[in-house]
Amino acid sequence: MSESTLGVYDIADLREQARQRLPRGVFEFFDRGNGDEVALANNRAAFERIKLNPHMLVDTSQRTQAITLFGKQQPMPLVVGPTGSAGLAWYEGEVALARAAKNAGIPYTLATGSMTALERVAAEAGGELWFQVYMWPDRAASHALIERAKAADYKALVVTVDTPVPPGREYNLRNGMTVPFRFTRRNVTDVLMHPRWLAGVLLRYLLTTGMPRYENYPTAMKTKITALPMGRSMMVSDSLTWDDLREIRKLWPRPLLVKGILRAEDAKLAADRGVDGVIVSNHGGRALDSTRAPIEILPEVVEAVGSRVTVIVDSGFRRGSDVIKGLALGADAVMIGRATLYGLAMAGEAGAARAIEIYRDEIDCNLAMIGCPEIGKLDPGYLAR
């Protein structure tokens, strides 16, 4: 454990700090799900249904949680996932997240919808950077974006496929995070009641680059957050098919992953198109509601394609024991979304680093407790379902 815990001891503590610091509209945009939030709740409940089955008196004094992902060793089995608008949690939050990931030796995935341009994140943070792309209806514009990521030396491309249309997320409307942005008594009061955020985030943008906007978008599409609703600015396409993936494969020579897979047949279709990895994900319960939890679907995907491609899982991982369960069920790594955002909202890079450290300490503790000296040796035998 580092010298500074920042006074937070688990991811729930970080979430509470984020709740206090962010305007309610921004916090709910980060924290909540979609629809009736059935998927959001089930993502967590699913972990409670899977129990650990520990071995006693195993020498784990040399235990390691290092893994190899796409040929690279990394000290822990996490990937920081793409979270659009992370720059609203902290001034230039994407750079802070990337630095925290770099210092922990794990990949950071920059979202298409980030408030810092992909070239700047590469120049100012570096590290093992992945880029997440949403395919726009204008495929040529998306292909140009992919070329930019390639030129900026991003190491992997993540194509997200689980949001063909914008999710409803009514709370954004209630909070006045709407399109076009309307100054309502509610959202103005909300911001004024969070002066640290107003001064430390919003005013800093206004005094430097102006209203935060999606800096990776082509100039014609560059959209201020005053012009589109939160979470609807992705402009995703409902005409995307598996053929598009074939095209992207031709453009991208490095590891290519498809994010948002929720059934084994789709994982096979992806593998048949030559992808290197699939990410079993329901977008943290933010896209289609009422899906099964990715941790429940994971074993089917691993059985279908685990020997052919890398399998990553996300959605609802808040504890080291959750990560252990994911790897025991066959995932090669776990992606996290909100946890590092909470940390970012609390204390920028230091807060994101603290989130990662919490996972590291909890994974380490759990490995010892279940009697597993090497994280790569985890298998379903460590679980009782």
Ligand X SMILES: Cc1cc2nc3c(=O)[nH]c(=O)nc-3n(C[C@H](O)[C@H](O)[C@H](O)COP(=O)(O)O)c2cc1C
Residues identified as active-site = 283
The answer to whether 316 contacts ligand X (rule: CB under 6 A) is yes
- Stretches 79-87, 199-207, 249-257, 347-355: which one binds ligand X (CB under 6 A)? 79-87
Rounded to 10 deg, the angle between the 185-192 and 24-31 helix axes is 90
Can residue 130 be called a binding residue for ligand X (CB under 6 A)? Answer: no
Omega of the bond leading into 107 within 30 degrees of 0 (cis): no
Q: Which amino acid is at 349?
A: E
Q: Which of 99, 213, 283, 319 binds ligand X (CB under 6 A)?
A: 283
Q: Residue-wise over 231-242: b if at least 16 C-beta within 10 A, else e?
A: bbbbbbbeebee
Binding part of the chain for ligand X, among 56-64, 115-123, 297-305, 330-338 by CB under 6 A, reads 330-338
Query: Which residue lies nearest ligand X, judged by its C-beta?
Result: 337
Determine, following the binding rule CB under 6 A, whether residue 175 of this chain makes contact with ligand X: no
Applying CB under 6 A, does 340 fall inside the site for ligand X?
A: no
Distance CA 72, CA 128 (A): 10
Q: Can you tell me which of 24, 286, 325, 354 binds ligand X, judged by CB under 6 A?
A: 286
Q: Taking CB under 6 A as the rule, does residue 284 contact ligand X?
A: yes
Would you say 78 or 370 has its CB closer to ligand X?
78
Work out whether 212 is an interface residue with ligand X (CB under 6 A): no
CA 313, CA 16: separation in Å to the nearest integer? 25
CA–CA dist 373, 353 (Å, integer): 25
Question: CA 121, CA 131: separation in Å to the nearest integer?
Answer: 11
CB of 302 to ligand X, least distance (A): 18
Nearer residue to ligand X within complex by CB, 23 or 284: 284
- In the complex with ligand X, which residue's Cβ is closer, 291 or 315? 315
Give strand ranges (E) for the chain: 51-52, 67-69, 72-74, 78-80, 108-110, 129-133, 156-160, 256-261, 277-280, 310-313, 333-336, 383-384
Number of residues located near ligand X, criterion CB under 6 A: 22
C-alpha 63, offset from chain centre: 27
Of 63-71, 267-275, 276-284, 320-328, the window that binds ligand X (rule: CB under 6 A) is 276-284
- The single-letter DSSP state of residue 136 is P
Residues that bind ligand X (CB under 6 A): 30, 81-84, 111, 113, 132, 160, 259, 281, 283-284, 286, 314-317, 336-338, 341
